[in-house]
Chains A and B, each alone.
Chain A
Amino acid sequence: MFEDLSGKLEQAFKSVTGQARLSDVNVAETVREIRRALLDADVNYDVARSITAAVKEKALGQGVLASVTPGQQFTKIVYDELVSVLGDEKEDIQFASTPPTVILIAGLQGSGKTTFTAKLAKFLKSQGRNPLLAAADVYRPAAVDQLRTLGDSIEVPVYSIKEKDAVRTAKEALAEAKKNAHDTLIIDTAGRMHVDEVMMSEVAEIKSVVKPNEVLFVVDAMTGQDAVFTAREFDKQIDFNGVVLTKLDGDTRGGAAISIKSVVNKPIKFVSTGEGVDSISAFYPDRMAQRILGMGDVVSLVEKAQEQYDEVQARKLQAKISSNAFNFEDFYGQLQQIKKMGSMRDLIGMIPGMSKQLGDVEIDDDSLKPIEAMINSMTIQERRNPQLINGSRRKRIATGSGTSVREVNDLLKQFNQMKKMMKTMTKMNKMGRAMEGLKNLAGRQRLH
């Protein structure tokens, strides 16, 4: 049915570099794929952009994990970002200290408010509460009938009046709840467009009259790009404190959840997963994130493999490079780091152009050994000040490490080249310019 994101990302890695490493080039291509996946999942355009920006930043700061593919690792980064946007604290209904607790239900037409009203009533009833429902949708044909039928099926009373007056219905229902010792009042309202001023002020008025403890915004999980505008407008008018995501029994990705959360930052308190009155459950950000990305067990796989990369150390290194103080000691430390996290190819990859030159030649981690040996044969002085290493010192190092003078010469030459290169890169970076020769990084993220 859906292509799985990590599969797509794997493709992206392959198509750009023919090899699988997290580098600027494949990151750019990958970011484009992620953005596309998010848009395909109905995450809002701007929200998708800011998510990919965050993901990219994180990805570039992360070491490659040896035991998973970059595609999987990247998916995990995206996943973590989505989970963090969705928020991981479960939030419940706020009950009034002195009953009745008043819950106001609002949202666009057909989103599932009336059905949810009944579901919530049943759910709260099963927790020992004694709810009353208010039929404050006085517009939709047979709206009261619908709520009554549902109320009957769950044996919860419904309050309605003959007059088409939603505010009065709500007000009287509150009095009724108090009179008949209902500890909970749930008010179903008519569906309304966020741009309909008259209707929006009606629901705002209901709110101000009944002073609900909880205002829930009900939204269809299939909603597309528009979700941000409707959520924001409803939030402005009635300052809801929770979101209900409905129709999750469908096959929609549900990116609207991300959009809404990032725009209004209100918790998703319930999800609705069917037409029946029992189809209600709590919201799990991790499941939602997985659903949006359409992925299986990539997350746990990467979690197992995840290693910490020492960012503090990376910063220090950067400072050293800028001040031309990068030496063999730093290089050695870097080698150890790389050895821990990836393979030899990563080390080569840090010298621009090198990886291309090497093409598909296999390099195993044993090729690191002579380099390590040579550095080990240097004195501390030499490591810190590579320019000290003259002819006789080179000979000594070669002998000590069981290599040849030519190999030592090569190492020194490459080290100097690398240092120069790194410095240029750092400067360029400081100037905030795009890295030369790397496509897709300029300015904006493009789909086309």
Chain B
Amino acid sequence: MSLFNKLGFGKKEKLHDGLEKTRSGFLEKMGKALVGKDKVDDEVLDDLEEVLITSDVGVKTTLEVIRRIEARVAKDKYLNSKELQGILQEEIAQLLKENDEERPAAFDAKLTHKPHIILVVGVNGVGKTTTIGKLAHLYKLAGKNVMLGAGDTFRAGAVEQLKIWSERAGVPIIQQGQGADPAAVAFDTVSSAKSREADVVLVDTAGRLHNRKALMDELAKIKRVMGKVVDQAPHEVLLVLDASTGQNAMQQAKAFSEVVDVTGLALTKLDGTAKGGIVIAISNEISVPVKYIGIGEKIEDLHVFDRNSFVEALFSKNH
């Protein structure tokens, strides 16, 4: 303690004027503030910080982006706001990994494996089952033979739910009902997909929190069993993340990756106001691409992920 402080010398922090702010026009503002300069002023960086943090990008990645922008501006001395926007988007986009050839996002792309088996995992309620329904629909539209496996044998109504999705998409489903061994269901699904010559197989799993060891072990077993039937199966492990989830999504991604080697991410519920910025850090850190985004509850509400529009959306007017 210093006497001065006690005597009230400490400067009072200026309170932010409420929560009612929009990020509209941030890019233009940032552009104007920077034209012709070789240094980004603090006010602009403050704004950038706010945009990124409120999009759930996370402190670490936010600081990294700011550092990169500063370095770029110092080096390149851009000329106009368009270029600056470009730089900003580039720097963020760079953190988002690209799809690899073996796991294309396009539904009509040729697949290396037949059947191409996709295991869908994630914590509770993020949208795994719904995403499977949507993917089934889109693969089918693209002319693929699709099959579903009802690997969530735990949650009340889970099998029923996937069954309805299979009907909506018009694809067959393999199920054993509630309470069955999920690894057995996975085995069953992959076996029949093999004998029926399906192109794409989507296997649902029960939602599980990544810190539940027994449940994560169960998931590892489900994965292992698949590989016994079809070589290298599952060919994809899709981790579903809810866009409204904050920094915990990183823990989820790390834990699931460790146990089942996640190959791609699906970011759901982007139809709200949440931005899902944490996927930037995740994609960068565990080196997996974001493949799909969910933008609603209807069967057609799924898009292939596009880095540029995602980054643009971070800076779009929001609330």
Contact = CB atoms under 8 A, between A and B. Distances in A.
Nearest to A342: B1
A109 B246 contact: no
Given A50-B15, A226-B274, A250-B123, A23 B5 contact: yes
A153 B178 CA distance: 13
Nearest to B56: A224
A392 B275 CA distance: 76
A424 to B, nearest CB: 10
Interface residues of B, number: 75
Contacts of B46: 444, 446
Interface string A10-44: 00000000000111100100010000100111101
A224 B9 contact: no
Contact of B53 (A45, A110, A315): A45
Contacts, number: 256
B157 A225 contact: no
Interface in B94-139: 123-127, 133
A226 B272 contact: yes
Contacts of A93: none
Contacts of A21: 1-2
Contacts of A143: 157
A264 to B, nearest CB: 11
B156 A230 contact: no
Interface string B157-170: 11011011100100
A100 B131 CA distance: 39
A255 B246 contact: yes
Nearest to A21: B1
Interface in A287-316: 309, 314-315
A401 interface: no
Contact of A40 (B50, B59, B161, B209): B59
The contact size tier of chain A is 35 or more
A53 interface: yes
Nearest to A249: B209
Interface string A60-100: 11111000000000000000000000000000000000000
A223 interface: yes
B4 A225 contact: no
Contacts of B243: 226
B1 A63 contact: yes
A327 B111 CA distance: 86
A52 B7 contact: no
B155 A275 contact: yes
A252 B15 contact: no
A252 B246 contact: yes
B55 interface: yes
B3 interface: yes
B19 A61 contact: no
Interface string B29-59: 0000000000000100110011001111011
A224 B9 CA distance: 36
A247 B249 CA distance: 13
Contacts of A446: 42, 45-46, 49
B76 interface: no
Contacts of A252: 246-248, 251
Contact of B13 (A53, A62, A256): A53
A22 B244 contact: no
Interface string B245-262: 111110100000000000
A251 B1 contact: no
Contact of A253 (B161, B247, B275): B247
B231 interface: no
A42 B62 CA distance: 14
Contacts of A45: 50, 53-54
B307 interface: no
A303 to B, nearest CB: 18
B8 A429 contact: yes
A318 interface: yes
Contact of B2 (A225, A247, A349): A349
Interface of A: 21-24, 27, 31, 36, 39-42, 44-47, 49-50, 52-53, 56-57, 60-64, 108-112, 139-143, 145-150, 153, 193-196, 220, 222-230, 247, 249-253, 255-256, 263, 275, 309, 314-315, 317-318, 321, 334, 338, 341-342, 346-347, 349-350, 352, 422, 425-426, 429, 432, 434-435, 441, 443-448
Nearest 5 Cβ contacts at the A-B interface: A224-B246, A110-B125, A146-B157, A60-B10, A350-B3
Given A46-B19, A53-B14, 5 more contacts: A24-B10, A42-B56, A112-B125, A230-B244, A255-B246
14 contacts: A21-B2, A24-B4, A27-B10, A56-B10, A60-B5, A61-B5, A142-B161, A142-B164, A145-B160, A195-B272, A250-B210, A349-B1, A425-B9, A448-B45
